[in-house]
Structure 1
Amino acid sequence: MSQADLGADVVAQAIDWRVRLASGLAPLDEHDACVRWRAEHPSHEQAWQRLAVFDGRLDGMPLPQVSRTLRQRDRRTVLKGLAVLLGGTALIGGANLGLRDSPWLAEQRTATGQRRRLPLPDGGWLQMNSGTALDVVFDGQQRRIRLLAGEIMVQTGKHAAERPFWVETPMGSLQALGTGFSVRLADDSALLAVEQGAVAVHPGALAHAAAVIQAGEQVRFDRQRLFAVQALDRDALAWREGFLVVRQWRLAQLCAELGRYRSGVLRCDPAVADLLISGVFPLDEPERALAALGRSLPVRARYLTRWWVSLEPA
């Protein structure tokens, strides 16, 4: 990782901590975690202190406005100081450091394990899964969601003729054709699943090419191409009701999926990684799900700390 990339990440994390603590609702362990983060590296504390000038202006603001204030008004101040922090290597301007597309600066976010339903100005709605970050841009000409991380389910309103509805992702753009659909981002691809209507997919490197995915279908895509269209996996949409439905999954796959809904590290020992499991697990109680595994498989959850858990042979 370059110095500039490291600097952008540090600034984004500092802004995120400021936003969370400015809400006045952060529990004590959040404050303690922030103190530990500041102590991890001198650059963390320097980025934190450069944001301190805004503390008085954040009091009483709604969280989206806090985020916008730090993102729009403080960016140049912080980045000027960041040039010194990085030994003169930083370039002034958010785009140069990749901050524009950072999930840390999104206007709408869900924490690990949190899900939230968000009404849209056109009468539609979207539901955000755990660890999701996005921006909503609605005006007289457009309806646009910028999905930066995580997973959403969208139900569009009835303004398609006047204002097309788009979801932008790092992998490409999706145009809703009067529909209900979900989008999930992975590190190197995205998955579109269409429940109602249809969605046109435009991979990022193929600006003028599009494929239309119909209701009952899903497709994975990256910036270069679309993969094979498949039948919709409705089990994968059960997160909206707070459940994870698995059918003959490897334990390692289940471990990775449950890890999306709990803070810290959830590790699967290679000795049990290939065990198969089926079941329905509550996403709001991942510790309960881990305990249930021991009743179905010869495994146990070993807690090194509350943040570090390993699934091992019983």
Structure 2
Amino acid sequence: MRQDPSPQAREVARAAARWLARMEFDGDDFDCAALQRWRDSSAHHEAAWQKAQRLRQRFAGVPPSLGMATLDRPALPRRAVLKRALGVAALVPTAWLLGRELPLEVWRADLHTATGEQRRWSLADGSALQLNTDSALDLDLKSRRLVLVQGEMALNVKGGTPLAIQAPFGLISVSRSEVCVRLSEHSCRVSVLSGSVQLQPLHGPMLTLKEGEQVNLQASGAGPVSAFDAAQLGWRDGVLVAQNQPLGDFLRELGRYRPGVLRWDQALEPLRVTGSFRLENTDRILALLSASLPVHVQTRTRYWVTLTLRKKVA
């Protein structure tokens, strides 16, 4: 199970985020010498700064000026915006360092994807690895172990020497098989696309999962084995597939691929969606929903979107 970082580690992370916030808002007035003194004062400070810089690159597409003042509030002076960003974690990338990206395991992970991003890697043994949106993974290839820290992954191991996937709720041994693993707050879903894998839950006996089967691992052990629809793994090809799916469920899944806030009226929940949607442009997906369903898309900013039930014209 994941261990919470110490209060000291959290404070160093917050300090790194505050320095990033000052860099974003101060511009030419930023005190580079003061930042350098902070970095030089501790190896922990320097390590946190380097991690924060890499994480900042993941949010490169989010404008630094995006804050609470842009979301239905009058414009504030730059210093006031900075004070608010540092004080109440406004919706700017550096504040997301404080909120979304803690605990620090995500900072320290070897491989990351940003929100809406899917990436592929080829491992030294020929295995193929892919991470879905907002995911993080640690690699320990010497002991042939991958640690899924956050999000969702796919792994295709062609050789007979097993690779182990360590998840918070159990260990998955993969050889000559292809598997997808998705973490949520209270469970870990394992789906086998080809071959078979061995699962060792935290509690309970080891079990074998075969092609076309999936199971949820929880703190209490493994749930029932069931069949799964391969379309739910369309993310590997950058596609979100729905087959007569309730719109509420579809939007909850779509929200994983959009930075910022996506909200909708409860009246939209029971509407049905069918189709294949390219994840590379989620704004287009919302436009397609509006064109095919009685859905009105209200865009406050690119990062704050609300869907409402469109009223019928008399």
Counterpart-to-counterpart distance in 2, 1:214 and 1:280: 27
Counterpart of 1:103 in structure 2 is: 106
Which residue of the partner structure matches residue 187 of structure 2?
Answer: 189
Output one character per residue of 1:17-71: Cα deviation in whole Å (capped at 9) or x when no partner: 32245x6x97485655699788533698xxxxxxxxxxxxxxxxxxxxxxxxxxx
Question: Normalising by the residue count of structure 1, what TM-score does the alignment of the two structures yield?
Answer: 0.71
| Aligned pairs for 1:230-249 within 5 A | 230-249=226-245
Residue in 2 aligned with 1:263?
259
Q: Say if 1:8 and 1:257 are closer, same or farther in 2 by CA, change over 3 A.
A: farther
Task: Find the counterpart in structure 1 of residue 301 from structure 2.
Answer: 305
**Counterparts of 1:285 and 1:125, CA distance in 2:** 25
Q: Cα distance 1:249–1:37, how it changes in 2: closer, same or farther (>3 A)?
A: farther
CA distance in 2, matches of 1:190, 1:154: 15
What are the within-5 Å matches in structure 2 for residues 275-286 of structure 1?
A: 275-286=271-282
Is contact 1:179-1:197 (8 Å) kept? yes
Alignment of 1:107-186 (within 5 A): 107-139=110-142, 142-160=143-161, 164-186=162-184
What is the aligned partner in structure 1 of residue 40 from structure 2? none
Inter-CA distance 304–171: structure 2 relative to 1 (3 Å threshold): same
Contact 2:116 2:280 in 1 (8 A): yes
Matched, 1:214 2:241: no
Asked if structure 1 preserves the Cα contact closer than 8 Å seen for 2:113 and 2:133, the reply is yes
Aligned to 1:40: 85
- Give distance in 2, aligned partners of 1:301 and 1:143: 47
Closer/same/farther in 2, CA of residues 8 and 266 from structure 1, 3 Å limit:
farther
> Aligned AA for 1:175?
S
Alignment match of 1:18 (pick from 27, 30, 53): 53
- Number of aligned pairs? 249
Distance 1:219 1:132 in 2: 20
**Contact 2:157–2:175 under 8 Å retained in 1:** no
When residues 244 and 37 of structure 1 are mapped into structure 2, their CA distance, relative to the original with a 3 A threshold, is farther
Contact 2:128–2:157 (8 Å) recurs in 1: yes
Contact 2:146 2:166 in 1 (8 A): yes
Q: Secondary structure at the residue paired with 1:304?
A: strand
Per-residue displacement from partner, 1:57-100 (whole Å, max 9, x unpaired)?
A: xxxxxxxxxxxxxxxxxxxxxxxxxxxxxxxxxxxxxxxx964x
Q: Is the 8 A contact 2:160 2:175 kept in 1?
A: no
Change (3 A) 1:239 1:220: same
SS class of match (1:118): strand
Summarize deviations over 1:118-138 as a string: whole Å, max 9, x none: 111111111111111001111
Identify if the C-alpha distance between structure 1 residues 251 and 28 changes in structure 2 by more than 3 Å, giving closer, same or farther: closer
Alignment RMSD: 2.9
Give 1:178 shift: 2.3
SS at match of 2:116: coil
Q: Distance in 2 between matches of 1:12 and 1:252?
A: 35
Give the secondary structure class of the aligned counterpart of 1:271: helix
Going from structure 1 to structure 2, the CA distance change for 1:28 and 1:240 (only over 3 Å counts) comes to: closer
Query: What amino acid is the match of 2:85?
Result: E
Q: What TM-score does the superposition give when structure 2 sets the normalisation length?
A: 0.71
**Aligned equivalents of 1:273 and 1:5: distance in 2?**
41
Q: 1 CA distance for matches of 2:150 and 2:171?
A: 14
Partner of 1:227: 223
CA gap 1:8/1:295 in 2 versus in 1, 3 angstroms: farther
Residue 175 of structure 1 contacts residue 201 of structure 1 at CA under 8 Å; is this kept in 2? yes
In the aligned structure 2, how far is the partner of 1:43 from the partner of 1:313? 32
Q: Deviations over 1:211-267 (max 9, x none)?
A: 110011111121212112111310111111111111121111111111111100111
| 2:247 pairs with 1:251 | yes
Percent of aligned positions that are identical: 33
Gaps of 5+ in 1: 45-96
- 8 Å Cα contact 1:122-1:159 kept in structure 2: no
C-alpha change, 1:38 and 1:238, in structure 2 (3 Å) is farther
The alpha-carbon deviation at position 196 of structure 1 amounts to: 1.2
Shift of 1:5: 7.3
Distance 2:83 2:174 in 1: 43
